[in-house]
Structures are given as C-alpha cells and as structure tokens.
C-alpha cells in the first residue's frame, strides 16, 4: 500500500481555493471522486504522497507547504482596477500574478540587501498631475522618441524599459493547457522602488500589447500596483464611468506617450483623409489605426462625423487582418514552425530578470536549484538563454 501524506487538511483546502480550482476539477487531476478529495480536506482521510505531489503541482504550491501547521502568509492580492462588472480572475490569471510576484519579491530583496539605489521614477507623480507631463517624463527617462524608433516599437519599449530597471514579463500561457484570457487580464504592474515589475498578456497582437505596456509603465510612475483590463484609449466624456480613475489616468498617459500631441498635429489633414494613410502612420508608431483615429478626435484634428466614418473603415480592415492572422497561425501549426520555446520562456521570465539570475548563479550568489526554479529551466539549458540574450 502506498505511503500516506499526513498533510494539514486546511492547507490542502486553502491551496485549492486560492487557485480557484473546483473540487471536481481537482479530483479529476488525480482520478478520484470529489467525495474522496473532500474527505482529505476535512481531515477524515489522507492522500498518498504521489497524489499530494500532483495536487501541489496543480495548485502551484511547494509540496512541503502542505505539512505546515498553519496556513502561510501569501502574497498580498493586487488591487483590481478592472470594472466592477468584470468576471473574477481565473486560475491562469492568479497563477501568472503569483509567479511574477515571486520573481519580483526575490529580485527586490536581492537589490535591497546588496545596497542598490532606489529608482527615482517609481511614484514620482500622482493622479493630480498632468498625464502629458508624466508621459514626457517616461519618454525622457527611457530615452524614447516616437518619431524615430530604431527597431520595432514594442521591442524598443521593452528593451529601454528594462535598461532603466523595469522588469517586463510577456506571455499568453502558463502551459499548453492553461492559457491567459485577454478578456480577463491584459496586464498588471507591481510598483516597487527597487524592482518594479509589469506583465503584458501577449495573447494580443503587438499594437494593443504596446499600449498595455505603456499603460502599465504609467502605473509604475504613479506607484499604483494593480491589475488592468479593457485598456482603451477612448477617454472622452462618454465612457469615463466605465473606468477606474487610475485606469483612465494611465490610458491618458499612454496616449500622450505613444502619440505626442506635437507629432500627431504635424501629420496634416491628408493623413486622416484615408484609412490607408492612417494605417501607415499607425504602423510606424506601433499602434492600431483605431488608436490613432481616437487620438485625432480628442485633439480636434478630425470631426465627429469623420471619426465615425474612419472608425467603421478601421473596424472592417481589422476584421480582415484578424482573418489573415488566423490563417497564418493555422499554417504555422501545420508546418510545426512555432516560435522558439526558449524565446517564449525568456520573454515570460523577463530578459533583465533572466540575466540577473544567471549572473547570480554563475558568481555563486544563489544555488543551482534556486536559479533553476526562478527561471523554470534546467541549469544545463541556460546556454540557450545566453544565445538569445546575446
């Protein structure tokens, strides 16, 4: 008979509930009845060691945690800035938040213990400040000029933000069977003086990813950690009620940073005369045509009637774009030419975070097991990260 795992029942129940996994789903993972799982959570029986290990992995908790006498202190939940009508965050969303919090906590403690200087831009501004001033400070701090990108806009923003000390995680999944729903979570930010960390759901295409990224940077600049969703650059009077004041402010900052008034005002009326020209300019800025149209409306560069016409055209073009993208993805699946799995993992971990963990490991500051756990990668595969970082 297999050895029993004499764990603490209330911790087993807490681990499942904090992962928002139902009793039925948890029982299915180890092929037992729901009644039997509940008997373990009630302390009337105990799972085998193997069953407990599977549950620990499913709940994304250390196996040893199950044997503590009391429920441990968990990471503080991030502020939820989504609309009141938003659905509750699901298991995948909670897991990615917890994973990033673990990374952020580790790197922040490392920096503080080693005497690193705090970052002056974290919490430099507040909601009472002018969003345009905040946007200009972000551009200046990161040394970014939207008129002259040296590479793909989103790549330049990621690289320069990490160069300034902001850790950026981008992914669309936890694993093949647990993906992130962009309708639930588009991004979140952890504002920390030593190691600010932000997350962007890469389920979206590049333009909304970039807007989300800059939106989350605004969260860092005003020191408002939290979860964002339904990020939208339409901040006219009509939709204000659906946004939290923090989200509204960060949207304004992102619009001003990605589409500076001075730059957009120089485009001329010919740019806004056709959707083709709008798409061309929007692509140069790394944003969507719709974002540029809304920005033009708010800057009084186009009328309400012109806005409606251009918006309808942009919507039709976007639907055609999505159809082409879907076909492209299907062909990639057929050809089995998916993206490099180590590049996906690098983006998920954050390039800056990966480099610091690898350097800490190579200099003996942390053990091989800690480095491997932090990057979710065996030590003997670190060289694959090295090649990508180079």
Output the average pLDDT for the chain. 90
Mean pLDDT over residues 192-196, rounded?
A: 97
Per mean pLDDT, which range of 78-82, 141-145, 358-362 is the poorest?
78-82
Mean pLDDT over residues 145-152, rounded?
A: 94
Mean pLDDT over residues 10-35, rounded?
A: 94
Percentage of residues in the chain with pLDDT exceeding 90? 72
Mean pLDDT over residues 39-47, rounded?
A: 95
Mean pLDDT over residues 290-299, rounded?
A: 92
386 neighbors 346 (Cβ within 8 angstroms): no
Q: Are strands 187-190 and 226-228 parallel, antiparallel or unpaired?
A: antiparallel
Q: Which of 169, 248, 29 is nearest to 161 (CA)?
A: 169
pLDDT band at 330 (very low <50, low <70, confident <90, very high): low
Residue 205 reports pLDDT greater than 90: no
pLDDT band at 152 (very low <50, low <70, confident <90, very high): very high
Say which residues have a Cβ less than 8 Å from residue 195's Cβ, sequence separation at least 6: 104, 107, 108, 111, 165, 167
Query: Looking at residue 163, what is its pLDDT?
Result: 97
Mean pLDDT over residues 348-356, rounded?
A: 96
Mean pLDDT over residues 82-100, rounded?
A: 90
Query: Looking at residue 232, what is its pLDDT?
Result: 59
Mean pLDDT over residues 14-34, rounded?
A: 94
Query: Looking at residue 77, what is its pLDDT?
Result: 85
User: What pLDDT digit, counting tens, does each position of 231-258 carry?
Assistant: 655 544 444 446 789 999 999 999 999 9
Mean pLDDT over residues 86-103, rounded?
A: 93
Phi and psi torsions of 72, nearest 5°: -75, 160
Per mean pLDDT, which range of 150-154, 322-326, 363-367 is the poorest?
322-326
User: Exposed, middle or buried by CB within 10 Å (0-12, 13-18, 19+), for 324?
Assistant: exposed
9 neighbors 39 (Cβ within 8 angstroms): no
Task: Match 């499913």 to its residue by tokens.
Answer: 58
Say which residues have a Cβ less than 8 Å from residue 370's Cβ, sequence separation at least 6: 361
User: What pLDDT digit, counting tens, does each position of 158-189 carry?
Assistant: 999 999 999 999 999 887 778 999 889 999 99
Query: Looking at residue 118, what is its pLDDT?
Result: 97
Q: Which of 355, 157, 364 is nearest to 257 (CA)?
A: 157
Q: Which of 352, 351, 346, 356 is nearest to 376 (CA)?
A: 346
Mean pLDDT over residues 323-334, rounded?
A: 68
Top-confidence residue, 197 or 173: 197
Mean pLDDT over residues 347-363, rounded?
A: 95
Q: Please, what are the domains in the chain?
A: 9-67 (1.10.260.40), 91-335 (no CATH), 341-389 (no CATH)
| CA–CA separation, 239 and 243 (whole Å) | 7
Top-confidence residue, 100 or 314: 100
Mean pLDDT over residues 263-276, rounded?
A: 86
CA dist 230 to 88, 91, 212, 222, Å?
A: 14, 19, 10, 20
Mean pLDDT over residues 84-103, rounded?
A: 91
Q: Which long-range contacts (CB under 8 A, 24 or more apart) does 120-123 make?
A: 121/164, 121/220, 121/221, 122/191, 122/192, 122/193, 122/196, 122/220, 122/221, 122/223, 123/191, 123/193, 123/221, 123/222, 123/223
Query: Looking at residue 235, what is its pLDDT?
Result: 42
């Amino acid at each position: 008979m297999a050895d029993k795992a004499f764990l603490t029942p209330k911790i087993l129940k807490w681990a499942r509930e904090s992962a928002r996994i139902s009793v039925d789903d948890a029982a299915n993972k180890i092929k037992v009845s729901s009644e039997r799982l509940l008997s373990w959570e009630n302390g009337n029986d105990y799972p085998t060691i193997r069953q407990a290990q599977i549950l620990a992995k499913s709940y994304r908790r250390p196996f040893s945690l199950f044997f503590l006498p009391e429920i441990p202190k968990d990471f503080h939940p991030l502020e939820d800035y989504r609309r009141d009508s938003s659905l509750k965050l699901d298991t995948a969303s909670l897991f990615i938040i917890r994973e990033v919090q673990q990374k952020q906590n580790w790197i922040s403690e490392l920096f503080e213990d080693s005497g690193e200087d705090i970052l002056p831009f974290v919490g430099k501004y507040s909601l009472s400040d002018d969003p345009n001033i905040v946007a200009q400070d972000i551009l200046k701090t990161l040394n970014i000029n939207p008129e002259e990108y040296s590479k793909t806009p989103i790549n330049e923003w990621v690289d320069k933000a990490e160069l300034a000390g902001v850790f950026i995680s981008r992914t669309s999944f936890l694993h093949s069977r647990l993906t992130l729903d962009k309708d639930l979570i588009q991004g979140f930010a952890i504002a920390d003086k030593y190691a600010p960390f932000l997350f962007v759901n890469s389920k979206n295409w590049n333009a909304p990813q970039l807007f989300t990224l800059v939106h989350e940077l605004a969260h860092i600049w005003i020191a408002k950690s939290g979860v964002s969703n339904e990020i939208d650059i339409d901040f006219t009077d009509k939709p204000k009620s659906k946004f939290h004041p923090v989200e509204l402010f960060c949207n304004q900052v992102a619009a001003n940073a990605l589409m500076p008034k001075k730059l957009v005002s120089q485009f001329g009326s010919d740019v806004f005369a056709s959707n083709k020209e709008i798409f061309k300019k929007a692509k140069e800025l790394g944003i969507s045509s719709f974002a540029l149209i809304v920005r033009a409306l708010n800057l009084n560069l186009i009328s309400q009637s012109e806005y409606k016409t251009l918006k309808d055209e942009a919507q039709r073009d976007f639907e055609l774009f999505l159809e082409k993208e879907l076909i492209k993805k299907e062909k990639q699946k057929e050809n089995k030419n998916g993206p490099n799995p180590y590049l996906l993992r690098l983006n998920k971990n954050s390039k800056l975070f990966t480099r610091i963990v690898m350097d800490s490991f190579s200099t003996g500051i942390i053990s091989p097991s800690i480095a491997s756990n932090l990057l979710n990668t065996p030590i003997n595969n670190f060289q694959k990260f090295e090649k990508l970082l180079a």
